[in-house]
Structures are given as C-alpha cells and as structure tokens.
Amino acid sequence: MTPNTPDDSEFARLHLIVTGRVQGVFYRHSTLDTARTLALCGWVRNSPNGRQVEIIAEGRISALKALVAWAHDGPPAARVDHLEARWSNFTGEFQAFSVR
C-alpha cells in the first residue's frame, strides 16, 4: 500500500489521467467493461487534447487498485505512456459506470 492509498477494505474515489495512444483504440469502452466487472461507479471520457483519457471511479480500494493495474496497459491497441492517479474520499455520487 502506498502512503496516499487508503486501506483495501474501505471505499474511495480515484481520478486517473492516462496519457499515450489511448484515443481511437477502444480504451473508453474497455474501461467501461473493466469498471463494471469490478463493480465500480463513475465515468471515463476522452480529453480534448487527443492524447489522454480521464477516469473518475469510486468503489472498494481493492477494485480501484485492480483498475489502476489494468489501466497501465489498457486494451491491446493502446500504448500508455503515463498514468497519474489521485486518490480522494468516497462521495457516493455515482450509481453506475458510464462513458462520457
């Protein structure tokens, strides 16, 4: 566990910025499938700059960590150059996971 990551049994919010070849390679829809499998709520969207995907997810810490591990590679056609993860408190804002 990293110093800024809460305990695995807790719930949290995660904001990911994924940079690289992540648009036009099914990254958003693959994130949707992965997040739903992990029972996470939130959203994923392309950033206007064409080189980033932004993800907001809430759920169990263990599931969020699994999403981070998956996001380092993404779908087969993606190339992830950088992943920035920011952890914060769970808000319960979302009822499901969606693509924006």
Kindly state the tokens that stand for 4: 């800024």
pLDDT score of 50: 87
Name the active-site residue from 4, 13, 21, 28.
28
2 DSSP 8-state letter: -
Catalytic: 89? no
Name the active-site residue from 21, 45, 46, 51.
46
Rg (CA), the chain: 12
pLDDT score of 49: 87
pLDDT along the chain (100 residues), means of 10: 59 97 95 98 94 97 97 96 96 96
pTM exceeds cut of 0.95: no
pLDDT score of 77: 94
In order of their start, the domains of the chain are: 11-90 (3.30.70.100)
Kindly state the tokens that stand for 1: 């566990």
